[in-house]
């Protein structure tokens, strides 16, 4: 799905990033994430866990930038902003409490729980 649709479906604020990997050959970015599930509209407190482990996978990546000042280690996502879009891709900026900023432009993104 497009990044804008993904951000409507998943509220990433409070989720944790444990690792980030970019595969330049397959043009994919993998964010190893603990998704903060309690902020989703369909969250059921009586049966759903608050956090769920998995990966956010960006595909058809045309831009990946980060100004990481340290390795990711359960960095909390503070903000995700869609900063541009065109017919084939969209660009998002992810800001974490670990003073890391990630810029990703991709054609598709999806969530894969473990």
Is this structure's pTM higher than 0.85? Answer: yes
pLDDT at 70: 63
Domain ranges of the chain: 3-113
Q: Which residue has the higher pLDDT, 37 or 63?
A: 63
Report whether pLDDT(60) > 90.
yes
Average predicted confidence (pLDDT) for the chain: 90
Q: How far is CA 14 from CA 57, 70, 92, in A?
A: 18, 19, 17
Question: What is the widest separation between alpha-carbon atoms in the chain?
Answer: 43
- Whether the predicted pLDDT of 26 surpasses 80: yes
- Residue 84 in 3-state DSSP? strand
Q: How confident is the model at residue 39 (pLDDT cuts 50, 70, 90)?
A: low
Q: Which residue has the higher pLDDT, 32 or 67?
A: 32
pLDDT at 14 over 80: yes
């Amino acid at each position: 799905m497009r990044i804008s649709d993904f951000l409507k479906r998943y509220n990433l604020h409070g989720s944790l990033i444990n690792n980030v990997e970019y595969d330049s050959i397959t043009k994919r970015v993998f964010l190893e994430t603990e998704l903060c599930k309690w902020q989703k509209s369909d969250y059921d407190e009586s049966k759903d866990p608050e956090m769920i482990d998995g990966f956010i996978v960006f595909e058809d990546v045309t831009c990946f930038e980060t100004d990481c000042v340290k390795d990711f280690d359960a960095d909390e996502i503070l903000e995700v902003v869609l900063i541009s879009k065109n017919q084939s891709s969209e660009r998002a900026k992810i800001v974490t409490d670990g003073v890391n900023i990630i810029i990703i432009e991709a054609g598709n993104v999806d969530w894969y729980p473990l």
